Amino acid sequence: MSFAVHTFMNEMLNRRHFLSVAMAATACRNVNNDKTSKPTTTVSATPAEVPASAASGATSNGNVASHKEIPKRPLGTTGVSVSMIGLGGAHIGKQKEEAESIAIIRSAVDRGITFLDNCWDYNDGKSEDRMGKALRDGYRDRVFLMTKLDGRTKETAAAQLEQSLKRLQTDHIDLVQIHEVIRMGDPEAAFKEGGCIEALVAAKKAGKLRFIGFTGHKDPEIHLAMLKMADKHGFRFDTVQMPLNVMDAHYKSFEKKVLPVLVEKKIGVLGMKPMGSGIILESKKVAAPECLRYSLSLPTSVVITGCDKMEILDQAIEVASTFQPMRKEEVAALLERTKDAAKDGAFEKFKTSLMFDGTTNNPHWLTTANL
């Protein structure tokens, strides 16, 4: 772990810090009462669409959750605080029954998760569609909603945003990010005349979104190039999303190269792939709770994790609600245990293969609003 990151952790992620956060939670402005938030239009769900368990905060065993508090963290300099763990959108939409997807989302919100992740292309739009239905009946007002767009042109990004707004059944999205900045040409494409940045800035002025960020999973050098391009154009990103996990620390490390820059710039840090979509667990070197705890021990605003089943959601909430940052000795031992498996990115397929590169496998997503 880099000196800058470790220093930040010592300052920000100790027990006293989180106790003070918890005590101040009711006094702080958060996503539910932020003065800049806008009212949303909600539509009542029919009984057939939402099971009883979806509205009760039920756990995987059918019991009502005990509502342990999930700590919140500041989202960069946005003035908003969000739950330290977020619900990933890629896994929402994979369930056979729509009602199960809705139940997972509502249970997450009922138990304290306020940050919801999604993307225009996830599961051919099904993830946004199901999340939109889950956010009826007042749930939209309780969350910080994020989605991502693939379009690199102003016209395409604007068209994709309109589709996302419709699917999510809202008049605005809290955070919209440029998805899959995974090619060295992406920064220039985003910022050139007629590029997607123009669409996002215009949408922000129109009240359709509040904050702007970007994501990527391929190479930290591309992230750094995107940040430099933003500086060149006098633009500031509110958030940056990237892989942060026990394997990343050893290979093409976002933690070592990008995270210190974001901390210095006070940009909101969105950690993703704490388990590499489960592939890191196949190494047999680390368990799921350790993966989450490691990522949460970094100076992140939120760590986004996919929960395709209620028991996986239970696990994530348990780690977050009982979280204590890893001690320096714990981190060192974990990194030592994983270093051989992590070399060459064998368990970070998103860096070393095309299997996670949606816009490479579907290049028309960059230039059209057609799935």
**What does residue 309 show for φ and ψ, rounded to 5 degrees?**
-135, 155
Place of tokens 């309109």: 162
Which letter does DSSP use for residue 35 in this model? T
- Whether residue 141 lies inside any domain: the answer is yes
Strands 115-116 and 144-149, bridge-based pairing: parallel
- Whether residue 152 lies inside any domain: the answer is yes
* pLDDT score of 156 more than 50: yes
The tens digit of pLDDT for each residue in 169-186 reads 999 999 999 999 999 999
The tens digit of pLDDT for each residue in 279-319 reads 999 999 999 999 999 999 999 999 999 999 999 999 999 99
Range of the domain at 112: 3-23+71-366
Q: Which two tokens stand for residue 16?
A: 């006293």
**pTM: predicted TM-score of the whole model, two decimal places:** 0.84
CATH number for 152: 3.20.20.100
The tens digit of pLDDT for each residue in 223-243 reads 999 999 999 999 999 999 999
CB 316 within 8 A of CB 308: no
Distance CA 318, CA 305 (A): 13
- Whether residue 55 lies inside any domain: the answer is no
List Cα–Cα distances, 210 to 203, 227, 273, in angstroms: 9, 19, 25
- Whether residue 52 lies inside any domain: the answer is no
- Whether residue 45 lies inside any domain: the answer is no
- Whether residue 33 lies inside any domain: the answer is no
Lowest mean pLDDT among 61-70, 91-100, 343-352: 61-70
Q: Which two tokens stand for residue 288?
A: 């799921």
Phi-psi region at 26: left, alpha or beta (left = phi > 0; alpha = psi -120 to 50):
alpha
- Please state the rounded mean pLDDT for residues 249-265: 97
Distance CA 159, CA 164 (A): 9
- Whether residue 46 lies inside any domain: the answer is no
Query: Residues near 26 by Cβ (< 8 Å), separated by ≥ 6?
Result: none
Distance CA 139, CA 54 (A): 11
Query: Residues near 342 by Cβ (< 8 Å), separated by ≥ 6?
Result: 246, 247, 248, 249, 250, 251, 348
- Please state the rounded mean pLDDT for residues 92-109: 96
Strands 173-178 and 85-87, bridge-based pairing: unpaired
Counting the structural domains of the chain, the total is 1
Instruction: Report pLDDT for 68.
Output: 72
- Whether residue 58 lies inside any domain: the answer is no
CB 2 within 8 A of CB 255: yes
* pLDDT score of 31 more than 80: no
